[in-house]
Homo-oligomer: A and B are copies of this chain.
């Protein structure tokens, strides 16, 4: 039996670290959710969630479900069997969302990608331009694909849709993005945005959120697909028992209430800046380690790298899984494994949610020590590059 002393660091790209005050907010007895104070609490979630999604018109829906459930909620409300969609290939999660759509009878066409580059808005515009019959019903874009750590430029995709004047619904998987990087559902004309609790929203897994524009709500009303649990029109009825299609997942929702308060305290944009700073700290270390050529970013182009997760290519002779396992078993840091076609060759550092400099320093230090123990040449400059960056971006002393 392995003895553990000290906190284990879980730096996978979800589930992420949960604030103690969120866990404690969840540590509560059952309540009758039809009590006036419960109903007021539940009602209050919606305007605050809309602020996080940055959507004024439309509605955000809360599901007892994981992110894959969120995917299904998005698809089943606005797409009927036989509808055609375009999916820019960003990595395993773009593939996964497409797989969900196919399972639900939707015809999927990929805008091919290589899992190393961000998807190209010009390629979308070109494809939509050729769709003279307007047969394409929706574009399904993953904002941050946690397998590849590619970051999609959501606003540029909106601009591409607008440039062509194509009426397709614009659907965005913001599961590994919302709360960590900018998403302006209203301003950017995102018709459907999907999020989940266990990423930058700092909650345990078990809640999914879907933001819907007025256009998406209209599409849902006109959609002949049979549906029940995910159905928006049912959830928009006044009766509180309909809001969650049955009993709300109360303890998770007590945690959500706390998270919404925490986001308001920090400010959404301050949270984005914190993520950008800590992501850059990770990248400075990875850049230094990569100088000898043994390691490399999965995403070569700096501006296309995500602020919530970094996928790193491991030396072929060692493999990503060996590094991950060593770091977990001997240095008490759990990193993410490679996924899909990147499963052999990469590993991943998750850096979103409830995160600060010492957590990142501990993680990166444990990883550097693991690389050294496995004789992966990584040099000695990684951690110094991180402290340089953190010092440079720290508040000046009073």
Instruction: Verify if A35 is at the interface (C-beta below 8 Å from B).
Output: yes
Interface secondary structure of A, over-half rule: loop
Q: Which residues of B are found within 8 Å of A244, using beta-carbon distances? A: 66
Q: Are B64 and A247 in contact (CB under 8 A)?
A: no
Q: Which residues of B are found within 8 Å of A205, using beta-carbon distances? A: 64, 247-251
List A91-121 residues whose CB lies under 8 Å from chain B.
Answer: 99-100, 103-105
Seed contacts A14-B247, A18-B30, A64-B69; 14 additional CB < 8 Å A-B pairs: A10-B31, A15-B31, A23-B29, A26-B204, A30-B198, A32-B334, A34-B337, A64-B66, A65-B229, A66-B245, A103-B226, A204-B252, A205-B248, A252-B252
Q: Which residues of B are found within 8 Å of A158, using beta-carbon distances? A: none
Instruction: Verify if A72 is at the interface (C-beta below 8 Å from B).
Output: yes
Q: Are A27 and B26 in contact (CB under 8 A)?
A: yes
Q: Are A30 and B69 in contact (CB under 8 A)?
A: no
Q: Which residues of B are found within 8 Å of A198, using beta-carbon distances? A: 30, 247
List A150-201 residues whose CB lies under 8 Å from chain B.
Answer: 196, 198
Instruction: Verify if A228 is at the interface (C-beta below 8 Å from B).
Output: yes
Q: Are A250 and B69 in contact (CB under 8 A)?
A: no
**Given A15-B250, A64-B66, residue A229 in contact with residue B30 (CB < 8 A):** no
Q: Are A103 and B64 in contact (CB under 8 A)?
A: no
| Residues of A near any B CB (own CB < 8 A) | 7-8, 10, 12, 14-18, 23-24, 26-35, 64-69, 71-72, 81, 99-100, 103-105, 196, 198, 204-206, 226-229, 231, 234, 244-252, 328, 334, 336-337
A247 to chain B, nearest CB (A): 4
A252 to chain B, nearest CB (A): 6
Q: Are B206 and A30 in contact (CB under 8 A)?
A: no
A254 to chain B, nearest CB (A): 9
Q: Which of A67, A105, A249, A252 has the most CB of B within 10 A?
A: A249
Bound: A15/B251 CA distance, A: 11
Q: Which residues of B are found within 8 Å of A31, using beta-carbon distances? A: 8, 10, 15, 334
**Copy total for this chain:** 2
Q: Are B100 and A228 in contact (CB under 8 A)?
A: yes
Q: Are A247 and B67 in contact (CB under 8 A)?
A: yes
Least CB separation from A96: chain B residue? B246
Q: Are A24 and B27 in contact (CB under 8 A)?
A: yes
Q: Which residues of B are found within 8 Å of A206, using beta-carbon distances? A: 64, 206, 249, 251-252
A375 to chain B, nearest CB (A): 24
Q: Are B249 and A204 in contact (CB under 8 A)?
A: yes
Q: Which residues of B are found within 8 Å of A7, using beta-carbon distances? A: 29
A60 to chain B, nearest CB (A): 18
Least CB separation from A353: chain B residue? B30
A94 to chain B, nearest CB (A): 15
Q: Are A103 and B30 in contact (CB under 8 A)?
A: no
Least CB separation from A67: chain B residue? B246
Between-chain CB contacts (< 8 Å), 15 pairs: A10-B29, A10-B30, A10-B32, A17-B30, A24-B27, A26-B251, A64-B206, A66-B244, A66-B247, A68-B247, A71-B229, A104-B226, A104-B228, A249-B252, A252-B252
